[in-house]
């Protein structure tokens, strides 16, 4: 089965070709440089950039896969033989989602292929199955899924492909959003996750201990809340630098920034591991799969490795290149759905699409 997939939910324009379990191409154009000066994604700029890039990115994906000169025959594109065209229908930015929707429909019609709309968060979960360019690992069910991205933080019980139950989700900021906002407070570059991680690696643990930030465990539920943690960082900076430190662009010393980054990362990672372990214990499940941009975080990976060693849990992370947004994970959503003969589902874009809306 050969699948062409499109991903434009946020600030990456991505297209890939998946042939069976092997990626023939996987092209990602990141808009980070476009949004950096605003320290966050500007939706209108994102949609425009997707529109400009979707065609060249598709061209690059086709030519990398070896399809140099597609041509038309009997009204169909006589290029690659494609069985299905898959796109993320949500969650994401409305204008950005439309770009994939339109491109995927046009491609499916020209190629005479099936068209499928899938859930972007399911893609983050299934991304674990890639090893290099091959989707050669299989997730074992039942398992607990932890999705930690720029827009979402969700904990799921997963019983099989397409069988997800949401246990908890963030009530305010997503984990990635908290990284991005704390980086902004500290004067670090967007996206905040990689910047905070880089600074934290230079920290002296004893110095970071002075910044013991709260762990928002919220023991009565599986929900998350990271906005209080972000505010705790803001208050510490205000105490150290003065009330209008942000407006005046006052910054801590590099070692102070490193300490805050380490202490913040520790608080986020402890919280994510704690709540995941709690879900595992409550449901009697010892397998965990972690996906999404924040899953690239080294400290989080290390903490989960500790949980795995101490409690005997099997914890799987998507490879780093598949943690942030890409089309390969979207292609896999389509592949697994077709293999399991699940219904094609809706083709409408759904900016607020949630796992609970699945079956
Ligand atoms: O999954 P993703 O590419 O996009 C969404 O679906 O939102 O995630 C992007 C988020 C950003 O908030 C970014 O700061 C965060 O993932 N991120 C990281 C790291 N790399 C990316 N957060 C922590 N540590 C990282 N190494
Ligand atoms: Zn994402």
Whether the pLDDT of residue 155 is over 80: the answer is: yes
- Ligand closest in space to the Cα of 330: 2
Q: With CA atoms as reference, report the closest residue to 7 among 126, 113, 112.
A: 126
Residues 284-340 have pLDDT tens digits of 999 999 999 999 999 999 999 999 999 999 999 999 999 999 999 999 999 999 999
Distance of CA 280 from the midpoint of ligand 2 (Å): 24
Give the CB-side neighbour count of residue 288, counting CA atoms within 13 A. Answer: 31
pLDDT given at position 329: 98
| CA dist 283 → 279, 280, 296, 308, 359 (Å) | 6, 5, 26, 17, 19
pLDDT given at position 70: 66
Instruction: Dig out the tokens for 54 from the structure.
Output: 């979707």
Within 8 A by CB and 6+ apart from 163, the residues are 141, 358, 359
Whether the pLDDT of residue 358 is over 70: the answer is: no
- Ligand closest in space to the Cα of 152: 1
pLDDT given at position 357: 46
pLDDT given at position 208: 85
Neighbours of 210 (CB within 10 A): 11
CB 315 within 8 A of CB 4: no
pLDDT given at position 354: 75
Q: What percent of the chain has pLDDT over 70?
A: 97
Give the sign of the dihedral formed by CA 180, CA 183, CA 189, CA 192: negative
Distance of CA 132 from the midpoint of ligand 2 (Å): 19
CB 141 within 8 A of CB 112: no
- Ligand closest in space to the Cα of 170: 1
Closest Cα to atom 22 of ligand 1: 193
Nearest atom, ligand 1, residue 92 CA: 6
DSSP state of 79: S
Residues 47-87 have pLDDT tens digits of 999 999 999 999 999 999 988 766 667 777 777 789 999 99
Task: Pick from 90, 324, 325, 333 the residue to mutate for probing ligand 1's pocket: most ligand atoms within 8 Å of its CB.
Answer: 324
Please state, in angstroms and rounded to a whole number, the distance separating the CA atoms of residues 292 and 303.
Answer: 16
> Phi, psi (5° rounding) for residue 47?
-60, -45
Bridge-based pairing of strands 72-73 and 76-77 is: antiparallel
Give the sign of the dihedral formed by CA 263, CA 269, CA 275, CA 280: negative
Q: Average per-residue pLDDT in the chain?
A: 94
Distance of CA 322 from the midpoint of ligand 2 (Å): 10
Whether the pLDDT of residue 223 is over 80: the answer is: yes
CB 2 within 8 A of CB 18: yes
Whether the pLDDT of residue 248 is over 80: the answer is: yes
Distance of CA 67 from the midpoint of ligand 1 (Å): 32
Within 8 A by CB and 6+ apart from 191, the residues are 32, 150, 176, 179, 180, 183, 293
Give the CB-side neighbour count of residue 102, counting CA atoms within 13 A. Answer: 11
Nearest atom, ligand 1, residue 121 CA: 6
Q: Which residues line ligand 1 (CB under 6 A)?
A: 10, 149-151, 176, 179-180, 191-194, 197, 292-294, 296-297, 324-325
Whether the pLDDT of residue 11 is over 60: the answer is: yes
CB 330 within 8 A of CB 87: yes
pLDDT given at position 55: 94
Within 8 A by CB and 6+ apart from 185, the residues are 230, 233, 234, 237, 246
Within 8 A by CB and 6+ apart from 285, the residues are 142, 143, 144, 157, 279
Distance of CA 215 from the midpoint of ligand 1 (Å): 20
- Ligand closest in space to the Cα of 264: 1
Give 3-state DSSP helix, strand, coil % of the chain, rounded to 5.
45, 20, 35
Residues 189-221 have pLDDT tens digits of 999 999 999 999 999 998 888 898 999 999 999
Residues 100-109 have pLDDT tens digits of 999 999 999 9
Nearest atom, ligand 1, residue 148 CA: 1
pLDDT given at position 359: 38
The more confidently predicted of residues 246 and 67 is 246
Within 8 A by CB and 6+ apart from 2, the residues are 17, 18, 19, 20, 80, 81, 82, 83
Closest Cα to atom 23 of ligand 1: 193
Whether the pLDDT of residue 356 is over 60: the answer is: no
Closest Cα to atom 16 of ligand 1: 293
Give the CB-side neighbour count of residue 141, counting CA atoms within 13 A. Answer: 12
């Amino acid at each position: 089965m050969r699948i062409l997939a499109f991903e434009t939910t946020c600030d990456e324009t991505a297209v890939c070709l998946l042939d069976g379990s092997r990626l023939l191409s996987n092209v990602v154009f990141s808009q980070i440089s476009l949004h950096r000066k605003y320290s966050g994604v500007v939706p209108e700029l994102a949609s425009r950039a997707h529109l400009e890039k979707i065609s060249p990115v598709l061209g690059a994906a086709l030519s990398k896969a070896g399809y140099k000169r597609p041509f038309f025959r009997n009204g169909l594109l006589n290029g690659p033989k494609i069985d299905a065209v898959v796109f993320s229908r949500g969650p994401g930015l409305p204008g950005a989602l439309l770009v994939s929707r339109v491109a995927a429909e046009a491609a499916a019609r020209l190629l005479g292929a099936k068209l499928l709309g899938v859930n972007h968060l399911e893609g983050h979960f299934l991304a674990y199955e890639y090893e290099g360019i091959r989707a050669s690992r299989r997730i074992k069910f039942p398992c607990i899924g932890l999705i930690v991205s720029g827009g979402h933080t969700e904990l799921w019980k997963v019983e099989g492909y397409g069988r997800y139950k949401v246990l908890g989700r963030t009530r305010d900021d997503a984990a990635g959003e908290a990284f991005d906002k704390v980086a902004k407070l500290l004067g670090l570059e967007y996206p905040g996750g990689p910047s905070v991680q880089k600074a934290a690696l230079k920290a002296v643990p004893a110095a970071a201990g002075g910044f013991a930030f709260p762990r928002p465990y919220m023991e009565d539920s599986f929900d998350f809340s990271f906005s209080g943690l972000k505010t705790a960082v803001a208050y510490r900076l205000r105490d150290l630098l003065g009330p209008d430190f942000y407006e005046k662009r006052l910054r801590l010393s590099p070692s102070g920034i490193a300490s805050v980054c380490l202490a913040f990362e520790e608080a986020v990672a402890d919280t994510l591991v704690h709540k995941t372990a709690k879900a595992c214990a409550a449901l009697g499940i010892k397998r965990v799969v972690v996906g999404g941009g924040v899953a690239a975080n080294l400290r989080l990976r290390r903490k989960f490795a500790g949980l795995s060693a101490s409690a005997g849990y099997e914890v799987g992370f998507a490879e780093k290149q598949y943690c942030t947004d890409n089309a390969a994970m979207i292609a896999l959503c389509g592949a697994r759905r077709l293999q399991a003969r699940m219904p094609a589902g809706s083709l409408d874009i759904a900016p607020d699409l949630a796992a609970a809306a699945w079956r």
